[in-house]
Structure 1
């Protein structure tokens, strides 16, 4: 589908919508296996390589979108966990401006956004992904009220398209399970404009994976991901990174079909470390990992070697660690996590891959 497919069609027969109302949506965070880091400088939120992620259970955003028909005064307010957050307004206003071309009906309303997370925001657990996707779903529910004939497939594709304009990885949070964003020649239906559910065979071992998240640092990141993406434009190793990311996607397609968990784990760890290598070698360079991030990584490597367990880590662009392992091995692994790793983190979140 092309961009013009997502314009709100004024010629379609409309249905009435109450001038004031409340829409609610819930959207999960996600953890990328093949990382997206770098986007086209002359296009809005278009990735330079494809990515794939798991959406995560128990780690989500709930958003209430209160809409009120405009009269004389125009306003937009944002509340996070019950407190007004004016610091969120610039990003939300930019998002509404971008999507207004595709959702012209938004210009008729004022909005109050009330949102809350089950996890810390802005610390590298894809809070912008879950928050922007939840907001995009709310907006599409308004459109569904206006055009009740919207088909489900189009509803979610446009929700993903809109979410991308707020936060790139947000487009993947529209769907559960394994989700692909970015065109890849080996993945039918893949697109730079929106995400799609992973369309190919997945071995049963990858359908029930635990994700235990270690919160090493719950403070907001000093360097926003948007800045990190910009730094890839003149990065000395960017070209090789994008080439290997696409090769790794091909490898992962084969791994997901065969069910080789060790190869899966080694690939996602390599992807995570490559992401941080790009961060550390950009100009200007910076660090997202903390000392305890490295301590946990070494502990995981030692435990895996000594106990022959299928536990592997991955990282977003932050200090916190995601530990992925099959549900069949949960009993012994979760016990070890609490006994040996709790010392290194501020909080442990027991999640799972949807």
Structure 2
């Protein structure tokens, strides 16, 4: 297993210019990551495991050109082809964090052009997909100046770098199911990067995720603030134990294909995440009345039809409706007839399990 010092590059060559383009998807955690170890290095307080999505993704193109002198970071940032100055401080901070591991960064000027396949301000967090896509491009540059690196190293370091930009971004590099955070259940698991879980039962192949956009506004509480509120939280230690327990249970469930038990763990995890927010100090509620309406409608529909559909939530009001591919027609009909009215402007996004980041251009 790779250690942090393995990712510090010391020997590399130089190129004059190159261009790369990668897509990286969003992901939805099944066992939730909430809370960081207090060392400023994006280390999770508990392990998490997620479905990698397919359609909700960021596409980032990067052109690099050799500079005369390596004095500081140099980059232009475009969002959907237009300059985006308010994104630049986050990119600057990211580059500063990863410079120790990528010492070549100041030797090049970067033109970064990024876009999302989902609507801007849709209420879907783009930090995971965005940072993962940028990390993939940086690793393509590293591969160009150090061709000897292996594929395993390439993807592990990409996940490692993405984590330093946004913790959950480390789960957007590979698919279909990715675990992040050291735990006794998944061999090779690490706090430093995500690892792919590849023993997925056929019942979970092509699993669907329809995202109901209940509230498309800005986050009321930033993820950073939310994670920090776990320090000194009265229920934090028990929550972290619970996450380890649920990882163990969910791994077995994913292996044997037990969808009924999957539903119990996933819905409990979603509600636990919001319970931790409601019991922190200061406390906050990110669900909306329509979030609760949708949850109750899902419970009622499942009880009446025995169709295995469930929900999960991220740190917001939107609802991810999860269900097997073989009941897609019935669930979509239910969503359109019963749930769309609770969505802002009737908007929702159909997605499914995907395979992680994809190389588009390497010149």
With normalisation by structure 1, the TM-score equals 0.95
TM-align CA RMSD = 1.5
Cα contact 2:189–2:195 (8 A) shared by 1: yes
Q: Paired residue for 1:251?
A: 249
- What CA distance in whole angstroms lies between the structure 2 residues aligned with 1:47 and 1:313? 24
Q: Paired residue for 1:181?
A: 180
SS of 1:232's partner is coil
- 1:263 Cα offset (Å): 0.9
- Alpha-carbon deviations, 1:13-55, whole Å to 9, x = none? x3x422x332211001000000000011124000011110011
- 1:147 Cα offset (Å): 1.1
Q: Which aligned pairs between 1:204-353 and structure 2 lie closer than 5 A?
A: 204-346=202-344, 347-353=347-353
- 1:312 Cα offset (Å): 0.2
SS of 1:49's partner is coil
Q: Paired residue for 2:149?
A: 150
Cα contact 2:123–2:215 (8 A) shared by 1: no
Q: Which aligned pairs between 1:54-73 and structure 2 lie closer than 5 A?
A: 54-71=51-68
- What CA distance in whole angstroms lies between the structure 2 residues aligned with 1:120 and 1:237? 36
SS of 2:147's partner is coil
- 1:148 Cα offset (Å): 1.2
- What CA distance in whole angstroms lies between the structure 2 residues aligned with 1:63 and 1:213? 23
- What CA distance in whole angstroms lies between the structure 2 residues aligned with 1:66 and 1:318? 35
- What CA distance in whole angstroms lies between the structure 1 residues aligned with 2:219 and 2:119? 11
Cα contact 1:122–1:128 (8 A) shared by 2: no
- What CA distance in whole angstroms lies between the structure 2 residues aligned with 1:246 and 1:103? 32
Q: Which aligned pairs between 1:32-71 and structure 2 lie closer than 5 A?
A: 32-71=29-68
- 1:124 Cα offset (Å): 5.3
- What CA distance in whole angstroms lies between the structure 1 residues aligned with 2:120 and 2:175? 21
Q: Paired residue for 1:5?
A: 6
SS of 1:150's partner is coil
> Structure 2: 5+ residue runs without aligned partners?
355-363
- 1:89 Cα offset (Å): 1.6
Q: Paired residue for 1:131?
A: 130
2:23 aligned with 1:26, yes or no?
yes
Q: Paired residue for 1:96?
A: 95
Name the CA shift for 1:41/1:124 in 2 (closer, same or farther; >3 Å).
Answer: farther
2:118 aligned with 1:119, yes or no?
yes
- 1:331 Cα offset (Å): 0.8
Q: Paired residue for 2:357?
A: none
- What CA distance in whole angstroms lies between the structure 1 residues aligned with 2:182 and 2:120? 29
- Alpha-carbon deviations, 1:288-319, whole Å to 9, x = none? 11111111111111111111111000011111
Name the CA shift for 1:337/1:80 in 2 (closer, same or farther; >3 Å).
Answer: same
SS of 1:293's partner is helix
Q: Paired residue for 1:108?
A: 107
- What CA distance in whole angstroms lies between the structure 1 residues aligned with 2:158 and 2:343? 35
> Structure 1: 5+ residue runs without aligned partners?
none
- Alpha-carbon deviations, 1:104-124, whole Å to 9, x = none? 111101222211111245765
Q: How many pairs are equivalent?
A: 349
Cα contact 1:38–1:229 (8 A) shared by 2: yes
- 1:205 Cα offset (Å): 0.1
Name the CA shift for 1:101/1:196 in 2 (closer, same or farther; >3 Å).
Answer: same
- What CA distance in whole angstroms lies between the structure 1 residues aligned with 2:121 and 2:247? 27
Cα contact 1:216–1:321 (8 A) shared by 2: yes
Cα contact 2:29–2:48 (8 A) shared by 1: yes
- What CA distance in whole angstroms lies between the structure 1 residues aligned with 2:231 and 2:89? 24
Q: Paired residue for 2:194?
A: 195
2:169 aligned with 1:170, yes or no?
yes
